[in-house]
C-alpha cells in the first residue's frame, strides 16, 4: 500500500532566549489511507510541534529539516498560497480546545460556509446545503437550525463535533487531531472517538490522532508511535504495542493507565521523574535517567530505532524481549 503521508528525518528547532532548542529530533513515520495513526507520549515530547511543522504553523523563526511527502509534494517545501491550499483543503486540523478553531462571534453556518466558498469556490446555496450535510455527518442534532447558532450555545463535546465538521468541510484526505478529547469527559470522549472511527471508514479518511493518553488510542488506532523527548522510542501495530510493549517507556505509559478490571482504589503507577527539557537532553538514551532497566551503555550511546519482531524499537536492553 502506498502511504498517504510519509515523514522522514523531521527535525524542528525553535528559537529561545538561550539559543535554538531542538524539540523534534529526527522523526520518521507514515500514514496509510483510511488508517488511524496514533502518536502518544507525555506532554512536551514534541507531538504538537511535529504536526504544526507539516502545516507551516510553527512559531516564527522555527527551523525545519526533513521531508514530508503528501500527494506527490513535500509539505516542508511548500510556501504561501500553495501551502494554504494544501493545509486548508487536503489536510484538516482539529485542536484540543474547539474554541481555537471556532470563532466566538460568527455563526456555525458562517464559519462552515466561509471555508468552503474560499477553498472550493462554492456558491452561497451549495455551501449552505453542504454545511447541513456536514453537521449531520458529525451528528449535530437539528443541523439546519444549528447553522444560525453561535459556538457558546453548544456543549464542549458538540463544539468539538462542529470543529471536526469545519476540518472536514473541504473534503480532506488527512485529518490531524491534536488531543481532540483531552478537555472532554469520558463518555463524550468515547463519542468523539467513535465519530473519528466512522469518518475513517465511510470517507476513506486517514487520521493522525495525537494524545498523551494511551487509553484513547487503544480503541481506534491502527498503528502507534511512542514519542519521548522529540524522538520515537517504539512504533508498531496497535495490538503488538499495547499487548506486548517492548520499550520500558511504553511499558511505563501503559502501567500508568487505570485498568478497567482493577479495583477502583488500585493506585496508579506514575512514571517517576519528568521528561528532559529540550535544552537539557541527557547523553545516551534520552530515557535512561528514568529507566529502571538502564545499564552503562544506556548512559553513553543513543540507541537507534531498529526493526525487531514486527515493530521498531530503540532500546539497548530490551528487557521485555521474551514477553515478560
Ligand atoms: N514557542 C516555543 N518556543 C520554544 N519552545 C517551545 C515553544 N512551544 C513549545 N516549546 C517546547 O517544545 C517542546 C515540544 O512541545 P510540544 O510539541 O507542544 O509537546 P507535546 O505536544 O508533545 O506536549 C516542549 O519542550 C515545549 O516546551
Ligand atoms: Mg501537544
Task: Tell me the CA–centroid distance for residue 179 and ligand 2, in Å.
Answer: 7
For residues 42-47, average pLDDT = 94
Under 8 Å between Cβ of 59 and 234: no
Nearest atom in ligand 1 to the alpha carbon of residue 46 is: 17
Q: What is the pLDDT of residues 117-141, one digit of tens each?
A: 888 889 999 999 999 999 999 999 9
**Ligand 1 neighbour 281 (Cβ under 6 A):** no
Q: What is the pLDDT of residues 244-265, one digit of tens each?
A: 999 999 999 998 887 665 555 5
Ligand having the closest approach to the CA of 49: 1
| pLDDT band, very low/low/confident/very high, at 97 (cuts 50, 70, 90) | confident
User: Which one, of 135, 117, 118, lies nearest residue 126 by Cα?
Assistant: 117
Fold adopted by 5-80+202-313? Rossmann fold (3.40.50)
What residue segments make up the domains of the chain, in order of their start?
Answer: 5-80+202-313
Whether the predicted pLDDT of 273 surpasses 70 = yes
Task: Tell me the CA–centroid distance for residue 41 and ligand 2, in Å.
Answer: 9
Instruction: Name the burial class of residue 114, with classes exposed (0-12), middle (13-18) and buried (19+) by CB atoms within 10 angstroms of its CB.
Output: middle
The average confidence (pLDDT) of the chain is 92
Task: Note the pLDDT of residue 262.
Answer: 55
23-27, 186-190, 226-230, 301-305: least confidently modelled range: 186-190
97-106, 176-185, 237-246, 252-261: least confidently modelled range: 252-261
Whether the predicted pLDDT of 1 surpasses 80 = no
24-28, 118-122, 279-283: least confidently modelled range: 118-122
Task: Tell me the CA–centroid distance for residue 50 and ligand 1, in Å.
Answer: 10
Residue 6: which residues within 8 A CB-CB, separation 6 or more?
A: 30, 31, 67, 68, 69, 70
**Ligand 1 neighbour 48 (Cβ under 6 A):** yes
Task: Tell me the CA–centroid distance for residue 202 and ligand 1, in Å.
Answer: 34
For residues 199-208, average pLDDT = 93
Torsion 163-165-170-174 (CA) sign: positive
Task: Tell me the CA–centroid distance for residue 6 and ligand 1, in Å.
Answer: 22
**Ligand 1 neighbour 59 (Cβ under 6 A):** yes
Task: Note the pLDDT of residue 115.
Answer: 81
Cα(176)–Cα(183) distance, integer angstroms: 17
Task: Note the pLDDT of residue 133.
Answer: 95
Nearest CA to ligand 1 atom 18: 48
Cα(161)–Cα(39) distance, integer angstroms: 21
Q: CA angle 21-285-301, nearest 5°?
A: 110
| pLDDT band, very low/low/confident/very high, at 16 (cuts 50, 70, 90) | very high
Task: Tell me the CA–centroid distance for residue 209 and ligand 2, in Å.
Answer: 11
Task: Note the pLDDT of residue 272.
Answer: 84
**Ligand 1 neighbour 47 (Cβ under 6 A):** yes
> Cell match 469520558: residue?
186
**Ligand 1 neighbour 23 (Cβ under 6 A):** yes
Whether the predicted pLDDT of 29 surpasses 70 = yes
Task: Note the pLDDT of residue 56.
Answer: 92
Nearest atom in ligand 1 to the alpha carbon of residue 52 is: 17
Nearest CA to ligand 1 atom 17: 46
Task: Tell me the CA–centroid distance for residue 47 and ligand 1, in Å.
Answer: 8
Nearest CA to ligand 1 atom 27: 44
Q: Which pTM does this prediction carry?
A: 0.93
Ligand having the closest approach to the CA of 39: 1
Amino acid at each position: 500500500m502506498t502511504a498517504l503521508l510519509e515523514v522522514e528525518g523531521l527535525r524542528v528547532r525553535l528559537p529561545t532566549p538561550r539559543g535554538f532548542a531542538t524539540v523534534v529530533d529526527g522523526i520518521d513515520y507514515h500514514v496509510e489511507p483510511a488508517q488511524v495513526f496514533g502518536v502518544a507520549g507525555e506532554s512536551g515530547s514534541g507531538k504538537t510541534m511535529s504536526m504544526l511543522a507539516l502545516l507551516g504553523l510553527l512559531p516564527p523563526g522555527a527551523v525545519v529539516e526533513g521531508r514530508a511527502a503528501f500527494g506527490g509534494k513535500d509539505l516542508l517545501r511548500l510556501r504561501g498560497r500553495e501551502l494554504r491550499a494544501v493545509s486548508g483543503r487536503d489536510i484538516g486540523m482539529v485542536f484540543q480546545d474547539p474554541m481555537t478553531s471556532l470563532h466566538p462571534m460568527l455563526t456555525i453556518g458562517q464559519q462552515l460556509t466561509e471555508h468552503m466558498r474560499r477553498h472550493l469556490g462554492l456558491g452561497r446555496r451549495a455551501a449552505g446545503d453542504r454545511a447541513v450535510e456536514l453537521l449531520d455527518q458529525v451528528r449535530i442534532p437539528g443541523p439546519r437550525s444549528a447553522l444560525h447558532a453561535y459556538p457558546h450555545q453548544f456543549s464542549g463535546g458538540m463544539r468539538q463535533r462542529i470543529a471536526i465538521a469545519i476540518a472536514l468541510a473541504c473534503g480532506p484526505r488527512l485529518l490531524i487531531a491534536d488531543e481532540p478529547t483531552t478537555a472532554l469527559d469520558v463518555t463524550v470522549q468515547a463519542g468523539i472517538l467513535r465519530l473519528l472511527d466512522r469518518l475513517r471508514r465511510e470517507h476513506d479518511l486517514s487520521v493522525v490522532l495525537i494524545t498523551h493518553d494511551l487509553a484513547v488510542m487503544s480503541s481506534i488506532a491502527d498503528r502507534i508511535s511512542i514519542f519521548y523527548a522529540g524522538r520515537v522510542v517504539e512504533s508498531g501495530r496497535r495490538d503488538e504495542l499495547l499487548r506486548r510493549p517492548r520499550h520500558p517507556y511504553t511499558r511505563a505509559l501503559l502501567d500508568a493507565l487505570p485498568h478497567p478490571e482493577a479495583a477502583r482504589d488500585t493506585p496508579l503507577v506514575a512514571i517517576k521523574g519528568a521528561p528532559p527539557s529540550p535544552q537539557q537532553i541527557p547523553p545516551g538514551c534520552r530515557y535512561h535517567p528514568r529507566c529502571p532497566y538502564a545499564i552503562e551503555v544506556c548512559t553513553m550511546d543513543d540507541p537507534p530505532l531498529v526493526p525487531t519482531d514486527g515493530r521498531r524499537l530503540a532500546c539497548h536492553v530490551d528487557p521485555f524481549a521474551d514477553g515478560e
